[in-house]
Structure 1
């Protein structure tokens, strides 16, 4: 009995040692060796980008924010697309907002209210308001029209909650009360009246879910001047690239800030533009980190 028990445990121990060597030592070493082959070494080491002095300044596959300590965009740099990964482009917190096209109503902050940790209530912006706010801010930064369909001029989603009698399909036929749900009092609503009823501002903490939610398109152009990738975050929150349209929108500002010709900036955009994957997937894009690094080499910023 004892001899049989000992033999079985020794066999298990030998199997453990053999598998540990194979899967814990030899296999990782083999993979590492393959990764050092020409053409694979750079990608295996993280696609790192180095400055002229040899220091590592980033990765070709992970974006960065080019803002000051208060989060304001630095005018001498091209701006990346928004990121919801941590405080922005945090590889340890890669994530999307998980908000979809039906996210159009904000949760307004209640003055004086605090969360479970004692922090002031900041409310919760809908995806629509996030897009509207970003588009308005970028329009002001780049000197273009930042308006978008279904966005109020104030930079929030243009959405109404309409109360009144409804038909069999649940559509309000005779409005009796209308509230601009994303504009907290005492703000003036983006429109004064809807179907003959005066529009009210929203009171934080009040529930308007019983009304019919109605987005208002407004008079913004069907094709906004601010590209969509400038106002939406990628699924990972780490996307290092922007569209050529967004890069070219920023070119005049960057050229002015650095005191160089716009054509020189456009040439650098073309240099760091990559085509569609496999020739047909996706759209051409511009690597922002590499572009900004080359800008610092070619035309150092003088504050």
Structure 2
């Protein structure tokens, strides 16, 4: 007896589903897994894990934090989850036009506001400078570590005389935990007193400055802190830093390990990988491998 067409079609689809499930869902993954375990491939397939004293301490492919440890080289920042989280890999999704902060509500102690990319870079540069004992200032940043950005109001909107200037990322109002109220700091001052002859005001939470022309101010600071020290990678998991950032950290690490910066500089050179094929990308230093070599050759003296 011939089956109805619709039943035949469904049976054919079921057979195809079964065949492709066996081939692509079981046989193919098992074959690839078996191939990956061959000598020469197994280390990479298992995650390029690095061991010390027989125990895994990390992967050469995933960055990790060494925050607060003066005796170690530090990685670049991470925007993956709470930092270096492989289950939440990703970037901050903030671009070059992200220069204006969202100010915190001074009446809400839980509101921390939202920093722009520019302010994040400024704050990180200031922190790295203090950690490494160098000037952490950089162009378009205030000495307080926020973006140096003004809202410039003109008489005719985009043209005409300047009528008002506001420092968008600086405010004198904050939440006072003691009195549990908003408190104004009468000593607070904007990063510049005047702009083209007009007095600069501090921003006030809740005010609308949309009609002002957003104007970043470059200033005369020189960036001593490399870009990779203040910006996260696209994945947030980059395990590498530039040789420039590694050299910036030499004095601190040498002091912590009672060693000579020139000696550690040679170790950095040994762990610097050149451009791929001689022309692709930039030279890099794997932070984990460098720190493990430090522990082996120049251990911290107790």
Distance of 1:263 and 1:216 partners within structure 2: 38
Q: Which secondary structure state, in structure 2, belongs to the residue aligned with residue 188 of structure 1?
A: coil
1:140 is aligned to 2:130: yes
- How many Å separate the matches in 2 of 1:241 and 1:12? 49
Aligned to 1:261: 260
Indicate whether 1:153 and 2:143 are aligned.
Answer: yes
Whole-angstrom CA distance in 2 between matches of 1:278 and 1:207: 53
Count of aligned pairs: 287
Residue 181 of structure 2 corresponds to which residue in structure 1?
none
Post-superposition offset of 1:136: 1.0
CA drift of 1:166 comes to 3.1
CA-CA distance at 1:301 after TM superposition: 2.2
TM-score, structure 2 as length reference: 0.89
Q: 1:79 aligns with which of 59, 74, 94?
A: 74
What SS does the aligned partner of 1:56 have?
strand
Distance in structure 1 (CA, Å) of the matches to 2:11 and 2:122: 68
Cα deviation for residue 7 of structure 1 reads 6.7
Q: 1:140 Cα deviation (Å)?
A: 1.2
Q: Match for residue 70 of structure 1?
A: none
| Deviations, residues 135-173 of structure 1 (Å, cap 9, x unaligned) | 111111111121111111111111111123137xx24x3
Write out aligned runs for 1:184-223 (5 A). Answer: 184-185=171-172, 186=185, 187-221=188-222
User: Pick from 90, 95, 108: which aligns with 2:85?
Assistant: 90
Partner of 1:181 in structure 2? 168
Instruction: Please tell me the root mean square deviation across aligned C-alpha atoms, in Å.
Output: 1.9
Q: What secondary structure, in the 3-state scheme, does the structure 2 residue paired with 1:213 have? A: strand
Shift of 1:37: 2.6
Kindly state the Cα deviation for residue 243 of structure 1 after the two structures are TM-superposed.
Answer: 0.3
How many Å separate the matches in 1 of 2:115 and 2:266?
38
* Cα displacement (A) at 1:13: 4.8
Partner SS for 1:183: strand
| Post-superposition offset of 1:179 | 0.9
Match of 2:94 among 80, 99, 116: 99
Please give the residue correspondences for 1:115-130 in structure 2 after superposition, counting only pairs within 5 Å: 120-130=110-120
**1:27, distance to aligned residue in structure 2 (A):** 1.0
**Which deviates the most, 183-192 or 242-251?**
183-192
| Distance in 1, Cα, partners of 2:230 & 2:9 | 63
SS class of match (1:166): coil
Point out the more displaced range, 229-238 or 3-12: 3-12
Unaligned runs of 5+ in 1: 68-72, 115-119
Q: Distance in 1 between matches of 2:217 and 2:61?
A: 38
**Distance of 2:200 and 2:11 partners within structure 1:** 81
Cα distance in 1 for partners of 2:86, 2:14 equals 39
Secondary structure, counterpart of 2:210 in structure 1: coil
Please report how far the alpha carbon of residue 268 of structure 1 lies from its aligned counterpart in structure 2 after TM superposition.
Answer: 1.8
1:207-246 alignment, distance < 5 Å:
207-221=208-222, 224-246=223-245
Matched, 1:109 2:104: yes
Q: Unmatched 5+ residue regions in structure 2?
A: 173-184
